[in-house]
Homo-oligomer: A and B are copies of this chain.
Amino acid sequence: MSTFKIKDPSEIGVAFLGVGRMGITHIRTLAGIPNVRVIAVADPNLEAAERGRAIVRADRAVASAEEAIHDPRVEAVVIVTPTTTHASLLELAVKAGKAVWSEKPIALNLTETQRIVDLVETTGIPVQLGFMRRFDPGYVMAKERIETGALGRIETFRALSRDTYPPALEFLKTSGGLFLDMAVHDLDLARFLVGEVREVQAWGSVLIDERFAQADDIDTAVTMLRFWNGALGVVETSRRSAWGYDIRTEVAGSTGKLVVEAPQKTPMVHSREFGFEADHYENFPDRFEIAFRRELEAFFGALTEGRTPTPGPTDALETLRLAVAATRSWREERPVRLDAVTAEIPV
């Protein structure tokens, strides 16, 4: 266990790394958490760092993440940098004895992720990863109901996710592919709501844009899951949605069913011409606006109260394993058992 302890819970010194679009969202959240005091904001682009600094009235804007992490007043680090830097910054922070909240994933391969898991375990430093859906009020309530046994024995799981806009080709090449980059959120929900998965089978297609094929990737997939507790699941994943962000999750059991979905964004219905209409969320930032706030509040709440924040690196590892298994299943056109996904094979 950790010997990590916040010095003064009424004022936690924070280094904030990475002021891109999501960085702005997260730094605004920090501005509203009373006992968070951002000391340093870092971004290789100093102008961006300064923009972030101004929002939260931090002391310093710096180009070097390392410098921000090592500021002696810093006790916790928030990482919102590009994916490829997560593992090394996490390592740096943990070794410096700082608590870490980091955007997911730790890394796109199991070896690197396992290394961080081991490091965190050894040091006992509190680390939380950005699986924000777990903090959406819908999924929180679903989790609570499931834990109180409202569904009886769980029998089926279904997740649908369609992002509104396909990513840029440039991004695609380093994204890890459809399962690691996008389906991973639904796979994490599967583990969160139902339990560990035993076996997976995935089929994929390029239906939206041929550039996905050029990137050796797919844009549409269906996946079957077989859980250790006997439940069966399906996951549908698509890179584009003409009707706005589309996400729906269902868990059904012997005595009940839960559906998490927010089909309507604005609380207004317009009736005209023998029908009615309402709007959908545009994309994940508006759909999960509350969740993005809650995940950071939860992290600092845990630090304040001396609890271990969650989801931690082990969850990130196991969810990654599931995404890797799905990728292999798609590539090799066969079912893949999770317990066989131990050694790293390039996906």
Cβ contact within 8 Å between A258 and B262: no
Docked pose: A179 CA to B201 CA in angstroms = 19
Cβ contact within 8 Å between B259 and A145: no
Q: Which of B10, B203, B270 contacts A256 (CB 8 A)?
A: B270
Which of the segments A80-88, A116-124, A235-243 contacts the partner chain? Answer: A235-243
Cβ contact within 8 Å between A256 and B242: yes
Contacts of A233 in B (CB 8 A): 222
Interface residues of A in 132-160 (CB under 8 A from B): 136-139, 141-142, 145, 150, 152-153, 155-156, 158, 160
Contacts of A240 in B (CB 8 A): 254
Cβ contact within 8 Å between A271 and B254: no
CB distance from A17 to the nearest CB of B (A): 19
Cβ contact within 8 Å between B256 and A138: no
Cβ contact within 8 Å between A276 and B280: yes
CB distance from A237 to the nearest CB of B (A): 9
Q: Which of B28, B29, B158, B333 contacts A236 (CB 8 A)?
A: B158
Cβ contact within 8 Å between B232 and A203: yes
Q: A266-B138, A274-B243, A276-B280 are in contact. Are A55 and B28 (CB under 8 A)?
A: no
A252 at the interface (CB under 8 A from B): yes
A-side interface residues, number (CB < 8 Å): 80
Docked pose: A201 CA to B267 CA in angstroms = 29
A32 at the interface (CB under 8 A from B): yes
A213 at the interface (CB under 8 A from B): no
Q: Which of B142, B205, B268, B273 contacts A138 (CB 8 A)?
A: B268
Docked pose: A82 CA to B285 CA in angstroms = 37
CB distance from A123 to the nearest CB of B (A): 32
Q: Mark A263-290, 1 if CB is under 8 A from B, else 0.
A: 1111111111111111110100000000
Interface residues of A in 238-258 (CB under 8 A from B): 238, 240-244, 246, 250, 252, 254-258
Interface residues of A in 6-52 (CB under 8 A from B): 10, 28-29, 31-32, 34
Name 19 interchain pairs, CB-CB below 8 A, sorted by A. A28-B34, A137-B265, A137-B267, A153-B207, A156-B238, A158-B158, A201-B203, A203-B226, A207-B230, A220-B232, A222-B233, A224-B224, A240-B254, A242-B273, A255-B272, A257-B270, A257-B271, A259-B268, A274-B282
